[in-house]
Amino acid sequence: MSKKWKPDSWRQLPIKQQPPYADKEKLQKVESQLAQFPPLVSIDEVEKLKAELALVAEEKAFLLQCGDCAESFTEFSRDNLKSFFRTLMQMTVTLMQGVKKPIVKVGRVAGQYAKPRSQEDETIDGVTLPSYRGDIINAIDFTKEARVSDPQRLIESYFHSSASLNYLRSLALGGYGNLRKINKWNEEFAHNLSGKSNIEEVVKKINDNLSFIESCGLDSSSLPQLTTANFFTSHEALLLNYEQAFIKKDGEKFYDLSAHMLWIGDRTRHPDEAHVEFMRGISNPIAFKVGPSITADELLRLLDILNPQNEAGRITLISRMGASKVEELLPPLVKAVRDSGKKVIWSCDPMHGNTIKAATGYKTRKFDDILSEIKSFFEVHRACGTYAGGIHFEMTGQNVTECLGGNQKINELDLKDRYHTHCDPRLNASQSVELAFLIAEELSKNN
């Protein structure tokens, strides 16, 4: 690990999950162009998120991080962004009622265009081509031309991210986050569910709270706290040449202004490699995935490297164990961090450890497995006397059929109907909101 950090010090270290660009000259030109573009977020926004996350670390708030597995250029549209934000807000209001604390909202959006891959190549009908690595690198079509790593896609991703963020900001600040409106959506959702009595009770409680505010002479339709929403973006910092282009210095601090929050995946969190080196030098809130292969010593070493000042709000640990493993593998890690006195946020990713292949050939996840891992995650923290501070979902606001189960009772034969993901299966809008209600019920046990 380099002692003196610089924006490009990562380039001297081993690095995984990088695309093979054939035209190095074109790549360098694109990197120079990106460095001249306006940043996607501001330093003030990044610091605001860190302050909100510090509240989560202090058990005074709860983190909701969710969005696409991998954003795609073809699914980029006003309607898809609007349905994503609507679903996010429905989940937020529901969770807020359960946990009785503010919800910090962070989207996997406006930058989540790259995906790590298990294999360098993919073979179909005897033809082998480079794997699809996300729209920021190559195209999903199974042709030789589409699978070439194209530097120009870095610039396309920037403009798609910029347009997405601009529209989402307009929704967050333009009244689409109105609590009365959001709860009306949840009321309509509950009306269409079977076995909905608990959900209707939550909706009624929220309406009662809003009515109480209004009975005090306050107009809930004009209060900014009830009509606007703080909203932040995040993505996996996989392509470090892209991330380096957004580094800005402020005083003695460096910020990566491609997003408010960045994370390191389970495949790229080696402490002596490039991704950890890059992330240790930026002042953004950062996260890393905590999977079945990590040991307590490795976890503590990463925390020493990435948060040497033990700053609250700096680090989120995203647990992704799998429903059958979480009760065995998570407690030793939670206890080690607790006993070390390190300030972290523990968040549960119940998606990546629960991916299966259906008999029909589709990669999918079961709603019940997702809920099971979340419940076990909360139980582990209750037993350890620590705070389960967040959840991390791959979801969409669209009516897709990619995950099995839920109140819609999606089965394996249904998967083919609307299986649109460019990578991993996502919860649809109905499953996401249903899950939020079930989590709120679980969280209310502690209140």
Q: What is the 3-state secondary structure (H, E, C) of 64-100?
A: EEEECCCCCCCCCCHHHHHHHHHHHHHHHHHHHHHHC
Predicted confidence band of residue 217 (pLDDT cuts 50, 70, 90): low
Per the CB < 8 A criterion, the answer to whether 194 and 282 are in contact is no
- pLDDT beyond 80 at 228: no
193 versus 258: the higher-pLDDT residue is 258
Q: CA 327 to CA 67: how far, in whole Å? A: 26
Task: Express as a percent the part of the chain with pLDDT over 70.
Answer: 88
pLDDT of residue 215: 66
Q: How many residues does the chain have?
A: 447
Q: CA 137 to CA 395: how far, in whole Å? A: 22
- pLDDT beyond 60 at 33: yes
- pLDDT beyond 90 at 220: no
Q: CA 437 to CA 195: how far, in whole Å? A: 12
- pLDDT mean over 436-444: 87
- pLDDT beyond 50 at 18: yes
Q: What is the mean pLDDT of the chain?
A: 91
pLDDT of residue 423: 86
Per the CB < 8 A criterion, the answer to whether 111 and 242 are in contact is no
Q: CA 185 to CA 183: how far, in whole Å? A: 5
pLDDT of residue 384: 98
- pLDDT mean over 52-81: 96
- pLDDT beyond 80 at 377: yes
Q: What is the DSSP letter of 233?
A: E
pLDDT of residue 407: 87
Q: Pull the structure tokens for residue 215.
A: 């009975």
Contacts of 65 (CB under 8 A, 6+ apart): 106, 107, 108, 234, 261, 316, 347, 390, 391, 392, 393
pLDDT of residue 422: 83
Q: Which amino acid is at 331?
A: P
Q: Pull the structure tokens for residue 428.
A: 């649809």
pTM for the model stands at 0.93
- pLDDT mean over 146-171: 97
- pLDDT beyond 60 at 226: no
Could you tell me the CA-to-CA distances from 69 to 146, 348, 361, 399 in Å, in that order? 20, 15, 19, 15
pLDDT of residue 356: 95
Classify 295 in phi/psi space as left (phi over 0), alpha (psi -120 to 50) or beta.
beta
- pLDDT mean over 234-250: 98
Neighbouring C-beta atoms of residue 1, cutoff 10 Å? 12
Predicted confidence band of residue 223 (pLDDT cuts 50, 70, 90): very low
Per the CB < 8 A criterion, the answer to whether 299 and 266 are in contact is no
Predicted confidence band of residue 408 (pLDDT cuts 50, 70, 90): confident
Structural domains in the chain plus CATH codes: 9-121+151-177+228-446 (3.20.20.70)
Q: CA 367 to CA 358: how far, in whole Å? A: 14
201 versus 67: the higher-pLDDT residue is 67
pLDDT of residue 175: 72
Of 206-215, 330-339, 400-409, the poorest mean pLDDT is in 206-215
Q: CA 352 to CA 370: how far, in whole Å? A: 9
Predicted confidence band of residue 3 (pLDDT cuts 50, 70, 90): confident
- pLDDT mean over 127-146: 96
Contacts of 302 (CB under 8 A, 6+ apart): 269, 271, 276, 288
- pLDDT beyond 60 at 361: yes
- pLDDT mean over 44-68: 97
Which residues lie across from 319 on neighbouring strands? 290, 348
Q: CA 431 to CA 396: how far, in whole Å? A: 10
pLDDT of residue 441: 85
- pLDDT beyond 70 at 279: yes
Per the CB < 8 A criterion, the answer to whether 384 and 331 are in contact is yes
Please name the helix (run of DSSP H) or strand (run of DSSP E) that holds residue 317, with its range, or none: strand 315-319
Contacts of 46 (CB under 8 A, 6+ apart): 255, 257, 260, 283, 284, 285
